[in-house]
Amino acid sequence: MTGKNSERSEQVHAGDPVTVDRYTTAARINHWITAASLVLLAISGLALFHPKLFFLTALFGGGETTRALHPWIGVVLFFSFLGLFLRFWRANLWKREDGTWMARLHDVLAGHEEKLPEIGKYNAGQKMVFWLMSILIIALICSGLVIWDQYFSAYSSVEQKRIAMLLHSLAAIVIICVWIVHVYAAIWVRGTIRAMVKGSVTGGWAWRHHRKWLRELVTGKTEKSGADKKPAE
Protein backbone atom coordinates (compact mmCIF):
# COMPACT_ATOMS: atom_id res chain seq x y z
CA MET A 1 0.00 0.00 0.00
CA THR A 2 0.98 3.61 -0.40
CA GLY A 3 0.83 5.93 2.59
CA LYS A 4 -0.03 9.51 1.64
CA ASN A 5 0.18 12.99 3.06
CA SER A 6 -1.57 15.19 0.52
CA GLU A 7 -0.85 18.41 2.42
CA ARG A 8 2.92 17.99 2.07
CA SER A 9 2.86 15.89 -1.14
CA GLU A 10 4.78 13.15 0.66
CA GLN A 11 4.06 9.51 -0.07
CA VAL A 12 5.40 6.11 0.87
CA HIS A 13 5.80 3.83 -2.14
CA ALA A 14 5.86 0.06 -1.83
CA GLY A 15 8.69 -1.71 -3.61
CA ASP A 16 12.14 -3.16 -3.13
CA PRO A 17 13.31 -1.04 -1.51
CA VAL A 18 10.41 1.00 -0.16
CA THR A 19 10.87 4.67 -1.07
CA VAL A 20 9.55 7.75 0.70
CA ASP A 21 9.00 11.16 -0.92
CA ARG A 22 10.80 13.81 1.11
CA TYR A 23 11.10 16.89 -1.11
CA THR A 24 9.17 18.06 -4.16
CA THR A 25 10.97 19.19 -7.31
CA ALA A 26 10.11 22.82 -6.51
CA ALA A 27 11.55 22.49 -2.99
CA ARG A 28 14.77 20.98 -4.34
CA ILE A 29 15.19 23.73 -6.92
CA ASN A 30 14.55 26.29 -4.19
CA HIS A 31 17.17 24.62 -1.99
CA TRP A 32 19.86 24.50 -4.69
CA ILE A 33 19.32 28.15 -5.65
CA THR A 34 19.77 29.05 -1.99
CA ALA A 35 22.88 26.88 -1.70
CA ALA A 36 24.44 28.31 -4.88
CA SER A 37 23.69 31.87 -3.77
CA LEU A 38 25.28 31.26 -0.39
CA VAL A 39 28.44 29.79 -1.93
CA LEU A 40 28.76 32.69 -4.40
CA LEU A 41 28.22 35.18 -1.60
CA ALA A 42 30.85 33.49 0.56
CA ILE A 43 33.44 33.54 -2.23
CA SER A 44 32.74 37.12 -3.34
CA GLY A 45 32.48 38.32 0.26
CA LEU A 46 35.81 36.76 1.22
CA ALA A 47 37.36 38.32 -1.89
CA LEU A 48 36.27 41.74 -0.66
CA PHE A 49 37.06 41.00 2.99
CA HIS A 50 40.86 40.78 2.84
CA PRO A 51 43.51 41.84 0.28
CA LYS A 52 45.10 38.37 0.28
CA LEU A 53 41.80 36.93 -0.97
CA PHE A 54 41.29 39.57 -3.62
CA PHE A 55 42.41 37.11 -6.32
CA LEU A 56 38.99 35.45 -5.93
CA THR A 57 37.43 38.46 -7.67
CA ALA A 58 38.79 37.02 -10.95
CA LEU A 59 35.97 34.46 -10.74
CA PHE A 60 33.46 37.29 -11.10
CA GLY A 61 35.27 39.40 -13.70
CA GLY A 62 37.30 41.66 -11.42
CA GLY A 63 36.96 43.78 -8.32
CA GLU A 64 34.37 46.26 -9.59
CA THR A 65 32.14 43.51 -10.95
CA THR A 66 32.44 41.54 -7.72
CA ARG A 67 31.48 44.60 -5.67
CA ALA A 68 28.48 45.22 -7.93
CA LEU A 69 27.28 41.59 -8.01
CA HIS A 70 27.74 40.72 -4.33
CA PRO A 71 24.72 42.64 -2.94
CA TRP A 72 22.44 41.45 -5.75
CA ILE A 73 23.37 37.84 -5.03
CA GLY A 74 22.46 38.65 -1.43
CA VAL A 75 19.00 39.73 -2.55
CA VAL A 76 18.60 36.43 -4.44
CA LEU A 77 19.68 34.52 -1.30
CA PHE A 78 17.18 36.39 0.86
CA PHE A 79 14.17 35.71 -1.33
CA SER A 80 15.25 32.16 -2.11
CA PHE A 81 15.64 31.33 1.57
CA LEU A 82 12.32 33.05 2.24
CA GLY A 83 10.78 30.43 -0.04
CA LEU A 84 12.40 27.66 2.02
CA PHE A 85 11.29 29.31 5.25
CA LEU A 86 7.67 29.46 4.16
CA ARG A 87 7.82 25.81 3.10
CA PHE A 88 9.47 24.35 6.17
CA TRP A 89 9.07 26.57 9.24
CA ARG A 90 6.26 24.48 10.72
CA ALA A 91 8.29 21.27 10.42
CA ASN A 92 11.15 23.03 12.25
CA LEU A 93 9.19 24.08 15.33
CA TRP A 94 10.81 22.77 18.50
CA LYS A 95 9.23 19.66 20.03
CA ARG A 96 9.71 17.97 23.37
CA GLU A 97 11.68 15.10 21.84
CA ASP A 98 14.17 17.58 20.41
CA GLY A 99 15.33 18.47 23.91
CA THR A 100 15.87 14.78 24.65
CA TRP A 101 17.74 14.38 21.35
CA MET A 102 20.09 17.22 22.32
CA ALA A 103 20.60 15.77 25.81
CA ARG A 104 21.68 12.52 24.18
CA LEU A 105 23.98 14.14 21.66
CA HIS A 106 26.79 11.77 22.64
CA ASP A 107 24.62 8.89 21.40
CA VAL A 108 23.97 10.78 18.15
CA LEU A 109 27.71 11.20 17.54
CA ALA A 110 28.37 7.58 18.50
CA GLY A 111 25.65 6.34 16.13
CA HIS A 112 23.58 4.77 18.92
CA GLU A 113 20.25 5.76 17.42
CA GLU A 114 18.42 3.02 19.30
CA LYS A 115 18.89 5.17 22.42
CA LEU A 116 17.27 8.25 20.86
CA PRO A 117 13.60 9.30 20.83
CA GLU A 118 11.60 8.93 17.63
CA ILE A 119 12.09 12.02 15.47
CA GLY A 120 9.79 13.85 13.06
CA LYS A 121 10.87 15.18 9.67
CA TYR A 122 13.81 17.07 11.18
CA ASN A 123 15.98 16.39 14.21
CA ALA A 124 17.10 19.04 16.69
CA GLY A 125 20.40 19.64 14.89
CA GLN A 126 18.66 20.29 11.58
CA LYS A 127 16.20 22.63 13.29
CA MET A 128 19.02 24.60 14.88
CA VAL A 129 20.68 25.02 11.47
CA PHE A 130 17.35 26.18 10.00
CA TRP A 131 16.72 28.83 12.67
CA LEU A 132 20.34 30.00 12.76
CA MET A 133 20.25 30.41 8.98
CA SER A 134 17.00 32.37 9.28
CA ILE A 135 18.43 34.76 11.88
CA LEU A 136 21.78 35.18 10.13
CA ILE A 137 20.27 35.85 6.70
CA ILE A 138 18.05 38.55 8.20
CA ALA A 139 21.14 40.06 9.86
CA LEU A 140 23.04 39.92 6.58
CA ILE A 141 20.33 41.52 4.45
CA CYS A 142 19.64 44.29 6.99
CA SER A 143 23.30 45.17 7.52
CA GLY A 144 23.97 44.75 3.82
CA LEU A 145 21.35 47.32 2.88
CA VAL A 146 22.95 49.84 5.24
CA ILE A 147 26.34 49.51 3.51
CA TRP A 148 24.94 49.31 -0.05
CA ASP A 149 25.98 52.87 -0.88
CA GLN A 150 24.84 52.77 -4.50
CA TYR A 151 21.21 52.90 -3.40
CA PHE A 152 21.10 53.58 0.35
CA SER A 153 24.04 55.87 1.17
CA ALA A 154 21.75 58.76 2.12
CA TYR A 155 19.86 56.78 4.76
CA SER A 156 22.65 56.11 7.26
CA SER A 157 25.62 57.84 8.85
CA VAL A 158 29.27 56.84 8.58
CA GLU A 159 29.15 55.49 12.14
CA GLN A 160 26.09 53.39 11.34
CA LYS A 161 27.82 52.04 8.24
CA ARG A 162 30.83 51.00 10.32
CA ILE A 163 28.64 49.15 12.81
CA ALA A 164 26.70 47.53 9.97
CA MET A 165 29.96 46.43 8.30
CA LEU A 166 31.14 44.80 11.52
CA LEU A 167 27.82 43.02 12.04
CA HIS A 168 27.76 41.95 8.38
CA SER A 169 31.26 40.47 8.63
CA LEU A 170 30.51 38.62 11.87
CA ALA A 171 27.23 37.23 10.53
CA ALA A 172 29.01 36.12 7.35
CA ILE A 173 31.69 34.24 9.30
CA VAL A 174 29.07 32.49 11.44
CA ILE A 175 26.85 31.53 8.50
CA ILE A 176 29.83 30.06 6.63
CA CYS A 177 30.57 27.92 9.71
CA VAL A 178 26.91 26.84 9.95
CA TRP A 179 26.92 25.97 6.24
CA ILE A 180 30.04 23.83 6.68
CA VAL A 181 28.37 21.95 9.56
CA HIS A 182 25.23 21.50 7.44
CA VAL A 183 27.18 20.04 4.50
CA TYR A 184 29.29 17.82 6.75
CA ALA A 185 26.19 16.42 8.47
CA ALA A 186 24.55 15.72 5.10
CA ILE A 187 27.61 13.74 4.01
CA TRP A 188 28.03 12.04 7.39
CA VAL A 189 24.48 10.69 7.53
CA ARG A 190 24.53 8.34 4.59
CA GLY A 191 21.51 8.70 2.29
CA THR A 192 20.73 12.30 3.23
CA ILE A 193 22.07 13.88 0.03
CA ARG A 194 19.82 11.61 -2.02
CA ALA A 195 16.81 13.47 -0.57
CA MET A 196 17.91 16.76 -2.14
CA VAL A 197 19.05 15.16 -5.39
CA LYS A 198 16.27 12.67 -6.12
CA GLY A 199 13.64 13.99 -3.72
CA SER A 200 13.18 10.64 -1.99
CA VAL A 201 14.79 8.40 0.62
CA THR A 202 14.58 4.70 1.28
CA GLY A 203 12.11 3.37 3.79
CA GLY A 204 15.01 2.00 5.83
CA TRP A 205 16.62 5.44 6.03
CA ALA A 206 13.36 7.05 7.11
CA TRP A 207 12.74 4.30 9.70
CA ARG A 208 16.20 4.67 11.18
CA HIS A 209 16.56 8.45 11.26
CA HIS A 210 13.01 9.92 11.23
CA ARG A 211 10.73 7.16 12.45
CA LYS A 212 8.02 9.44 13.81
CA TRP A 213 7.77 11.22 10.45
CA LEU A 214 7.51 7.91 8.59
CA ARG A 215 4.87 6.60 10.98
CA GLU A 216 2.79 9.75 10.49
CA LEU A 217 3.02 9.40 6.70
CA VAL A 218 1.88 5.77 6.77
CA THR A 219 -0.94 6.22 9.28
CA GLY A 220 -1.96 9.73 8.19
CA LYS A 221 -2.07 10.75 11.84
CA THR A 222 0.10 13.25 13.65
CA GLU A 223 1.55 11.69 16.77
CA LYS A 224 1.97 13.51 20.06
CA SER A 225 5.53 14.31 21.10
CA GLY A 226 7.14 11.55 23.07
CA ALA A 227 10.53 12.64 24.30
CA ASP A 228 11.38 9.37 25.93
CA LYS A 229 9.79 7.08 23.38
CA LYS A 230 12.44 4.78 21.98
CA PRO A 231 12.39 3.04 18.63
CA ALA A 232 11.44 -0.61 18.65
CA GLU A 233 14.29 -3.07 18.41
Instruction: Give catalytic residues, as residue numbers.
Output: 182
Cis peptide before 17 (omega within 30 of 0): yes
Please state the φ and ψ torsions of residue 50, each to the nearest 5 degrees.
-145, 140
DSSP string, 10-29: EEEE-SSS-EEE---HHHHH
Residue type, 49: F
Contact assessment for residue 13 and residue 199, using Cβ atoms and an 8 Å cutoff: no
Pick from 46, 122, 118: which is nearest to 84 by CA? 122
CA distance 83 to 105: 30
Please state the φ and ψ torsions of residue 21, each to the nearest 5 degrees.
-65, 130
